[in-house]
């Protein structure tokens, strides 16, 4: 079984240094499994052998925090994780999320009702082959006008179901994903271990939430840390200031973007995803990139520019 919070763990030299997630020591550079399935996070991987090799290399590199979801594929990422890594290392923290599903065309649909959240947790337990998932994030839908988005589901009912699942030992801790400031404040009494929101050197719209996480020692695991292929999400690696900083340091623009996040706040835990062994090594090496104060000042000025 993996993901159960313990105390007195030995501090190891993890990628990016040590951070804390739900009472566990984890490397600040983790791994996101979202890119392991096929294009659009749908269907089997292009190269199954490589996907399995990436996961095994993740553990070899000392990464002990893997972020996944049953709806990645669907039913693909977790199955790959199980085949590649089971039985899991004792210190591996598996983090999943519930609140969404995939339709037959690969579209993303909400699954927000309490019974759907429970079904999602049970599916993760089965596919990962564990009795408890270390952390499970409640993924909220941000568009209240989206048909069937789940907005009619009472947030307190959702939180109550997550608390019940934690009390039953099926999940070790509760996280939130794609959450608003008001929702985070409302959920704090339930005991929140981590927050996953879009956040990067270019997009700091969630900074007020990070402030709360800093005050409450809640882990902050940003998604879209380097932007996205989505046209409305700018790519960090294409920004001239990031490219210039990378050239001066002899590293890649992606490493600069990730290093800025690590330096911005100690509660940041990175979960960059890749299906490439080369990019995996690049992401891990970002933990060793040292940005000068002058470079940080320049990058700090990119938000909203």
Catalytic residue IDs: 72
Q: Give the pair of three-digit tokens for residue 204.
A: 């700091």
How many helices, marked H, and strands, marked E, lie in the chain? Answer: 10, 11
Task: Please report where in the chains the tokens 């590649």 appear, as a residue.
Answer: 84
Bridge-based pairing of strands 219-220 and 100-102 is unpaired
Task: Please report where in the chains the tokens 């995803």 appear, as a residue.
Answer: 273
Q: How far apart are the first and last CA of the chain?
A: 46
**In sequence order, which ranges of the chain are alpha helices (DSSP H)?**
48-60, 77-85, 114-128, 155-167, 181-187, 207-216, 240-249, 253-264, 277-285, 293-300
The Cα–Cα gap between 1 and 215 comes to 31
Bridge-based pairing of strands 93-98 and 65-67 is parallel
3-state secondary structure of 281: helix
The Cα–Cα gap between 249 and 124 comes to 41
CB-based contacts of 115, cutoff 8 Å, min separation 6: none
Within 10 A of 16 (CB to CB), how many other CB atoms are there? 26
Contact 136, 174 (CB under 8 A): yes
CA distances from 248 to 242, 297, 298 (A): 10, 15, 13
At 219, which helix (H) or strand (E)? strand 219-220
């Amino acid at each position: 079984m993996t993901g159960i919070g313990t105390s007195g763990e030995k501090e190891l030299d993890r990628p990016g240094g040590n951070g804390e997630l739900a009472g566990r020591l984890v490397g600040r550079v983790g791994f996101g499994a979202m890119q392991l399935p096929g294009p659009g996070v749908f269907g089997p991987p292009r190269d199954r052998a490589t996907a399995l090799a990436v996961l095994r290399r993740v553990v070899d590199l000392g990464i002990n925090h893997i972020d996944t979801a049953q709806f990645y594929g669907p039913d693909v990422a977790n199955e790959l994780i199980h085949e590649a890594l089971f039985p899991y290392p004792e210190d591996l923290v598996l983090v999943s999320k519930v609140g969404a599903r995939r339709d037959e065309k690969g579209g993303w649909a909400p699954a927000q009702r309490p019974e759907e959240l429970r079904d999602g947790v049970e599916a993760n337990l089965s596919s990962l082959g564990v009795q408890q998932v270390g952390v499970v994030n409640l993924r909220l839908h941000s568009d209240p006008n989206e048909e069937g988005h789940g907005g009619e589901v009472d947030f307190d009912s959702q939180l109550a179901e997550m608390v019940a699942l934690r009390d039953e030992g099926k999940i070790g801790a509760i996280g939130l994903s794609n959450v608003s400031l008001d929702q985070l404040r409302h959920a704090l009494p339930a005991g929140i271990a981590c927050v996953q929101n879009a956040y990067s050197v270019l997009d700091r719209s969630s900074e007020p939430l990070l402030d709360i996480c800093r005050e409450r020692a809640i882990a902050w695991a940003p998604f879209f840390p380097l932007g996205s292929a989505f046209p409305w999400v700018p790519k960090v690696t294409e920004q001239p200031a990031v490219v210039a900083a990378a050239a001066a340091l002899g590293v890649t623009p992606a490493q600069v973007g990730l290093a800025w996040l690590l330096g911005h706040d100690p509660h940041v835990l990175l979960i960059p995803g890749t299906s490439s062994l080369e990019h995996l090594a690049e992401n891990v090496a970002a933990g060793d990139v040292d940005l000068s104060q002058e470079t940080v000042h320049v990058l700090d000025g990119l938000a909203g520019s």
